[in-house]
Amino acid sequence: MNPFTEKQHEELRQRIRNFAESEIAPEAEKLDSEERFSPELTRKMGQEGILGINIPKKYGGRELDTLSYIIAVEELARVDSSQAATVAAHNSLGLVPILDYGTDTQKEKYLPKLTTGEHLWAFGLTEENAGSDARGTETTAIIEGEEWVINGSKRYITNISNPLTLGVTLQVMTQNGDQPSQLTTILVEKGTPGFESQRLLGKMMWRASDTGKASFTNCRVPLENLLGQEGQGARYMLKTLDGGRLSVAAMGLGLAQGAFEMAAKHAKTRKQFGKPINRYQAIAFKLADMDMKLELARNTLYKACWLKDNNQPYTREAAMAKLYTSEIAREIADEAVQVFGGSGLFKDNPIERFYRDQRLLQIGEGTSEILRLVIARGI
């Protein structure tokens, strides 16, 4: 047992693992091949309590700690990164900002609908000229009477264009009098006139998750859709991304764990020159390195979760966890393909999907270069 986990954490791990292997694994290859988002699997994950896992019970969540949520994402990614991405984006980027900064009315209106699996919520940040540099945001919102009027577009948004999408937490630029434009957060429901979304197809990775773009043309929402305070969008975003980095780190750890297990199993059964290939040092040393990296990555991530759950600063540790798990996911997936040899290059082998899925981990939620800057600021 990991020193950061308790009995309930390991029991949750086994329950989510059983769910992922019985419900998700049989569908993963087909959904990836067809590039199809599955509302059915999303609803099942909601019924399993994975959506809203760390949301208070009064809003329909399970009110578990950060580590429980991270373990759940890790176990999903061990089988299929697409389903893990759906959960991570919904929980970390969708629900948490509403929980942290929403009014009582906003929380009561939205959160109970978002913990059952019947609805998903998105987070709209990235644009053509904005992403890591949120100051480049060109989507605007101006006040006309009792409404915000929004114009602009966002892209690379998870959970934005599927049938379950209820709305999006939108980062926009607002201007108050003669003051400079400032980043502000507004909630926009799907179906609002002027709000259109479209799925982006042709992805290399996470092909069964919903990635899309959204446009806003004179989209009008009530002033009470403001999340938190005007001009505080940058602060909200940075805090949200700290938590988001933990969930992306969990995806990297889970993917690496799954790839390692596949490689280890194959190395026990594949024989060359009369004995299993894991008896040869060339393969045994690869597996040993994978095992070591997984141990270090899990301890790094779980420590960051412990800090968050104990109300300690964790920005640096979250950046470290996300950076390191992303890198070992790449390294372990690559070495796992090497262990499989030529068979690892064909689509009927799950390791091929894992090799593709790991690539986004070095890009999403901050590139490796940005994460190193975050870490360096603490030195």
pLDDT along the chain (379 residues), means of 10: 90 98 98 98 97 96 97 98 98 96 98 96 93 86 97 97 97 85 96 98 97 98 97 91 93 98 97 95 97 98 97 94 97 98 95 97 78 89
Q: What pLDDT is attached to residue 176?
A: 76
Residue 133 tokens read as: 């540099």
Round to whole Å and give the CA distance between 252 and 231.
33
Q: What is the CATH number of domain 234-378?
A: 1.20.140.10
pTM over 0.85: yes
Is 365 known to be catalytic? yes
Q: Which of 230, 317, 335, 365 is catalytic?
A: 365
Residue 167 and residue 216 in contact, taking contact as beta carbons nearer than 8 Å: no
Residue 208 and residue 37 in contact, taking contact as beta carbons nearer than 8 Å: yes
* Domain limits, CATH 2.40.110.10, in the chain: 122-230
Cβ neighbours around 377 below 10 Å, total: 10
* Domain limits, CATH 1.20.140.10, in the chain: 234-378
Cβ neighbours around 207 below 10 Å, total: 21
Q: What pLDDT is attached to residue 173?
A: 96
Q: What pLDDT is attached to residue 134?
A: 78
Tokens 């990614």 -> residue: 77
- Looking at domain 122-230, its CATH superfamily turns out to be Butyryl-CoA Dehydrogenase, subunit A, domain 2 (2.40.110.10)
Sign of CA dihedral 85, 126, 99, 307: positive
Give the closest residue to 189 by CA, choosing from 220, 217, 232. Answer: 220
Architecture of the domain made up of 7-119: Orthogonal Bundle (1.10)
Question: Dihedral, CA atoms, 296, 12, 117, 20, nearest 10 degrees?
Answer: 70
Q: What pLDDT is attached to residue 365?
A: 60
* Domain limits, CATH 1.10.540.10, in the chain: 7-119
Cβ neighbours around 267 below 10 Å, total: 20
